[in-house]
C-alpha cells in the first residue's frame, strides 16, 4: 500500500508544479501585471499630538508632505479600478527619527492585498521641530489712498482690538505688529468692510502666516470719512493795558486759519473758530502780549482739527502801543450849536477867538487827523439827556464841548465853554 502512495510521488509533485506554472501563464496572458503612476499624493500626518503635546510645533520641509509620483504595480484588472483617490500615504509621528524624518507608508484603500508593489519618489517626510510660542498683539488699523476732495479720514477702528498668534518660536519672535489696511481712494462717506489681518516684522516686511495659527484671520474695520472746512481764527481780548497804553485792536496769529473736520451738517454753520477772551488778558500791560494757545481746546462738539500734522498750537500776538498827544488850535467860528428848541437861540463864548485842544490816542489814529477839519459842537439834546441842562430857558450854562474826532481818539482834558441861551425876539 505504501508503495502505491509513494511510487508516483515525483510524478505527482511535478504535476502540481506544472499546474501552478500553467495557471500563472494563463493568468499573465489573460490579466498581465502592469503599472500606473499617480501624481501629487498628499501625505496624511498621524498622531501629531506626539509633538504638540510637548509644547512644540513642526513645519514640513521641502514640501515632503506631497509625493510627486507614486507607482502602483498590479494586475491590469486591479490597476483599471484604482484612481488617485484610492492611493493612501500616511506618516506617523510616533515613527519620528532622530533626524526629524518620518517614513511614509503607501497603500491603496481597495485591493491593497492584490498589489504587486507601490512606491513613491520619496519615502519620508522631513520636519523642522521647534518650541511653540504664543503672543497677543494689539490690532492696528490703517488706510491707503486719498479720499475725495474736501474730505479726510477720521477714526479708523476695528471691532476686535487683539489678535493671538501661535507658532514656531523662530517665526513668532520676529513679529512686531499686526495690522489691517483699508483702501479709501475716492470715498466721501463712512466705510465698513472686512479685511485680512497681516503680520509684519520690525522692518515692515510682511511675515507669511502659512505656519502660524491666529485666533482670527480677518476683522471688520470701520473708517470714518469727515468733511473739511477752512475757517479764520477770531480772538477776543479782556482787560485794559496800563495807563498811557492801549490795545491797537489788532490780534495776529500763526496760522491765521485752521481746517476743521466733522460731518457736513456740523460744519455748514461754522464761519470762524472763536477763541474766548479768557485766553488773552492784557490788563496792566505796557507791551505786546505774545503767547501760545491750543485752539483744539475750543472746538465745537463733534468737530476736530482737519490736519493731523497740526497739534493745535497757535502763536498769538495782541498789539499794544503807547498813546501819543497832539495839539490843535480850534477857531471859535468852528463851534456850532445843535438841537436848540424852537423859539430859542444860543451863543458860545470863549475867552479867545481861538483855543487849544490836546488829543490823545494811538499814533495811527492821532496822526490821521487834519486840524483844519476839526469842528466843535454843543448838542442841546445830549446835554438834556445827560442832565447838564434840565430845562431850556434863558441863561448861562458852562457846558462841555464835543469834537468830531476819530472813534479811538479823545481829549486829554475836556474843554468847557459858556453857553448863552436866550429867547428869540
User: Using an 8 Å Cβ cutoff, are 45 and 71 in contact?
Assistant: no
CATH topology identical between 30-122 and 131-227: yes
Rg, Å, the chain Cα set: 52
The span from the CA of 2 to the CA of 355, in Å, is 177
Element housing 246 (H / E): strand 245-254
List of residues 6+ apart from 169 with CB closer than 8 A: 130, 131, 132, 133
Instruction: Specify the pLDDT at position 11.
Output: 66
Class of 30-122 per CATH?
mainly beta
Instruction: Specify the pLDDT at position 12.
Output: 64
Question: What count of Cα atoms within 13 Å lies in the side-chain half-sphere of residue 25?
Answer: 6
Instruction: Specify the pLDDT at position 286.
Output: 96
Instruction: Specify the pLDDT at position 311.
Output: 94
Query: Along the chain (425 residues), what's the average pLDDT of each consecutive run of 10 residues?
Result: 54 66 56 92 94 90 95 94 95 94 95 94 94 95 92 93 94 95 94 96 94 94 95 96 94 96 92 93 96 95 92 96 94 92 88 88 94 93 90 90 92 91 86
CA-based nearest residue to 346, from 404, 402, 418: 418
Instruction: Specify the pLDDT at position 210.
Output: 87
Pick the CATH number of 131-227 from 3.40.50.300, 2.40.50.140, 1.10.357.10, 2.170.120.40: 2.170.120.40
The span from the CA of 262 to the CA of 270, in Å, is 11
Instruction: Specify the pLDDT at position 29.
Output: 56
Q: Where are the domains of the chain?
A: 30-122, 131-227, 236-322, 324-423
pTM for the whole structure: 0.62
Class of 324-423 per CATH?
mainly beta
Burial class (CB in 10 A: 0-12, 13-18, 19+), 1: exposed
Amino acid at each position: 500500500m505504501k508503495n502505491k502512495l509513494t511510487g508516483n510521488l515525483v510524478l505527482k509533485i511535478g504535476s502540481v508544479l506544472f499546474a501552478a506554472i500553467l495557471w500563472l501563464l494563463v493568468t499573465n496572458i489573460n490579466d498581465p501585471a502592469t503599472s500606473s503612476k499617480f501624481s501629487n499624493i498628499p501625505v496624511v500626518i498621524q498622531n501629531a499630538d506626539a509633538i504638540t503635546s510637548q509644547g512644540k510645533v513642526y513645519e514640513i520641509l521641502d514640501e515632503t508632505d506631497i509625493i510627486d509620483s507614486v507607482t502602483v504595480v498590479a494586475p491590469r484588472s486591479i490597476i483599471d479600478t484604482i484612481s488617485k483617490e484610492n492611493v493612501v500615504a500616511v506618516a506617523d509621528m510616533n515613527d519620528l527619527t532622530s533626524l526629524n524624518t518620518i517614513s511614509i507608508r503607501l497603500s491603496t484603500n481597495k485591493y491593497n492585498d492584490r498589489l504587486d508593489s507601490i512606491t513613491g519618489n520619496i519615502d519620508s517626510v522631513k520636519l523642522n521641530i521647534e518650541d511653540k510660542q504664543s503672543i497677543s498683539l494689539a490690532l492696528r488699523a490703517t488706510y491707503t489712498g486719498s479720499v475725495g476732495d474736501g474730505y479726510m479720514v477720521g477714526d479708523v477702528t476695528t471691532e476686535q482690538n487683539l489678535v493671538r498668534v501661535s507658532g514656531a518660536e523662530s517665526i513668532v519672535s520676529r513679529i512686531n505688529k499686526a495690522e489691517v489696511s483699508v483702501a479709501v481712494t475716492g470715498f466721501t462717506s463712512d466705510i465698513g468692510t472686512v479685511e485680512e489681518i497681516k503680520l509684519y516684522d520690525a522692518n515692515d516686511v510682511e511675515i507669511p502666516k502659512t505656519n502660524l495659527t491666529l485666533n482670527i484671520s480677518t476683522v471688520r474695520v470701520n473708517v470714518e470719512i469727515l468733511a473739511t472746512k477752512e475757517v479764520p481764527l477770531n480772538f477776543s481780548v479782556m482787560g485794559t493795558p496800563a495807563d498811557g497804553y492801549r490795545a491797537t485792536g489788532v490780534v495776529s496769529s500763526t496760522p491765521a486759519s485752521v481746517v476743521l473736520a466733522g460731518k457736513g451738517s456740523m460744519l455748514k454753520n461754522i464761519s470762524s473758530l472763536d477763541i474766548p477772551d479768557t485766553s488773552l488778558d492784557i490788563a496792566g500791560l505796557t507791551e505786546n502780549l505774545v503767547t501760545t494757545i491750543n485752539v483744539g481746546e475750543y472746538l465745537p462738539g463733534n468737530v476736530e482739527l482737519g490736519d493731523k500734522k497740526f497739534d493745535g498750537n497757535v502763536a498769538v500776538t495782541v498789539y499794544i502801543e503807547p498813546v501819543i498827544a497832539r495839539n490843535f488850535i480850534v477857531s471859535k467860528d468852528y463851534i456850532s450849536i445843535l438841537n436848540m428848541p424852537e423859539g430859542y437861540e444860543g451863543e458860545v463864548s470863549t475867552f479867545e477867538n481861538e483855543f487849544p485842544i490836546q488829543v490823545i490816542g494811538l499814533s495811527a489814529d492821532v496822526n490821521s487827523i487834519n486840524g483844519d477839519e476839526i469842528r466843535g459842537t454843543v448838542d442841546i439834546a445830549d446835554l438834556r439827556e445827560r442832565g447838564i441842562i434840565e430845562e431850556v430857558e434863558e441863561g448861562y450854562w458852562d457846558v462841555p464841548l464835543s469834537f468830531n474826532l476819530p472813534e479811538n481818539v479823545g481829549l486829554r482834558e475836556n474843554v468847557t465853554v459858556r453857553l448863552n441861551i436866550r429867547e428869540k425876539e
